[in-house]
Amino acid sequence: MPQMTRREWHWLALGGVVSALRTPVRAFQTPSAQYKGVTLGVQSYSFRGLELGPAIAAMAKIGLHSCELWHSHVEPRGVSLDEFRRIGEAFSKVGIALSAYNISFREHFTDAEIERGFEMAKALGAPCITSSTHIKAVARVAQVAARHALPVGMHNHSQIDPNEFATPQDFEQAMKAGPQIKVNLDIGHFTAANFDALDYVLRHHESILTLHIKDRKRDQGPAVPFGQGDTPIGAVLRLLRDEKWSIPANIEYEYKAGNTIQEVTRCLEYCRKQLDS
């Protein structure tokens, strides 16, 4: 794949935002991110088939006002921090707040690359980072997080691996590395690994920065449309509602289906319906 220049990437990434801003204002007069007191947002990985500009426009069209920004939407290496500031402003202009910047710090990352991740998050205006971090990298991440006073939520997957997050014990051990190390709980993966997501949120809500909302079957089962798996999506959302916990619940569309915008819309409608009950 040919290397994009900084100018080419800028136009590719933000061109859709400019087009979106030219549409009638009524297109963005949608309900706020708070629904029944719960912040319903989206992980931009849900729009992984779209470039950044069209993805932002799609979020606005659906009525999403909170986003956890996936690093692959914004992160060619060498792009200046000014570009990240402009991206943050592009979200703000259409009424979408960033709940987190998602960048996965891996064991092979240099100290400079970890530092850069925090600089990018702060330039975007994100209040925290979420990260599928290697367990062996946590100590170094914790040091940088402390220096920047920016919390990092460790993201779990379902496969049990000594260098990956999956179990409650993995989170517990990681948080010992420093006060800025927190949890980004993916309730779908947690369920697929046969852990109790509702119980974990109930007991550890103070350590949770954000939630990823997806539906999966137990026993490492697949991701499925919301309501067809074993993940207690409704129970978790109602717990946030009833306890008034300000934890963003970010939809992550991951199952295989047709039209992304239609499916994310269905996911959002399902979550709202659960909060209505």
Complete DSSP assignment for 72-87? GGT--TT--HHHHHHH
Residue 67 sits in a domain whose CATH number is 3.20.20.150
In a domain, 21, yes or no: no
Cα–Cα distance for residue pair 152/145, rounded to 1 Å: 7
Residue partners of 246: CB distance under 8 A and separation at least 6: 39
In a domain, 71, yes or no: yes
In a domain, 200, yes or no: yes
Residue partners of 25: CB distance under 8 A and separation at least 6: none
Complete DSSP assignment for 230-253? S--HHHHHHHHHHHT----EEE--
In a domain, 182, yes or no: yes
> Can you name the residues that pair with 216 across neighbouring β-strands?
223
Are 101 and 120 in contact by the 8 Å Cβ rule? The answer is yes
Q: What is the pLDDT, as a whole number, of residue 33? A: 86
Task: Using alpha carbons, list the distances in angstroms from residue 124 to 39, 117, 134.
Answer: 20, 11, 24
Residue from 87, 155, 76 nearest 116 by CA:
76
Angle at 12 between CA 10 and CA 15, to 5 degrees: 90
Residue partners of 263: CB distance under 8 A and separation at least 6: 225, 253, 255, 257
Copy the structure tokens of residue 159. Answer: 């496969």
In a domain, 15, yes or no: no
Residue from 203, 192, 202 nearest 156 by CA:
192
For the chain, the domain total comes to 1
Length of the chain: 277
Cα–Cα distance for residue pair 188/125, rounded to 1 Å: 28
Residue partners of 188: CB distance under 8 A and separation at least 6: 212, 213, 214, 215, 216, 223, 229, 231, 252, 254
Domain of residue 44 covers: 30-276
In a domain, 17, yes or no: no
Q: What is the pLDDT, as a whole number, of residue 30? A: 38
Are 65 and 33 in contact by the 8 Å Cβ rule? The answer is yes
In a domain, 172, yes or no: yes
Cα–Cα distance for residue pair 100/260, rounded to 1 Å: 22
Alpha-carbon Rg for the chain in angstroms: 18
Residue from 230, 223, 232, 211 nearest 253 by CA:
223
Q: What is the pLDDT, as a whole number, of residue 79? A: 87
- Local confidence pLDDT in tens for the 277 residues of the chain: 344 444 444 444 455 444 443 333 233 333 478 999 999 999 999 999 999 999 999 999 999 999 999 999 998 767 899 999 999 999 999 999 999 999 999 999 999 999 999 999 999 999 999 999 999 999 999 999 999 999 999 999 999 999 999 999 999 999 999 999 999 999 999 999 999 999 999 999 999 999 999 999 999 999 999 999 999 999 999 999 999 999 999 999 999 998 999 999 999 999 999 999 9
In a domain, 68, yes or no: yes
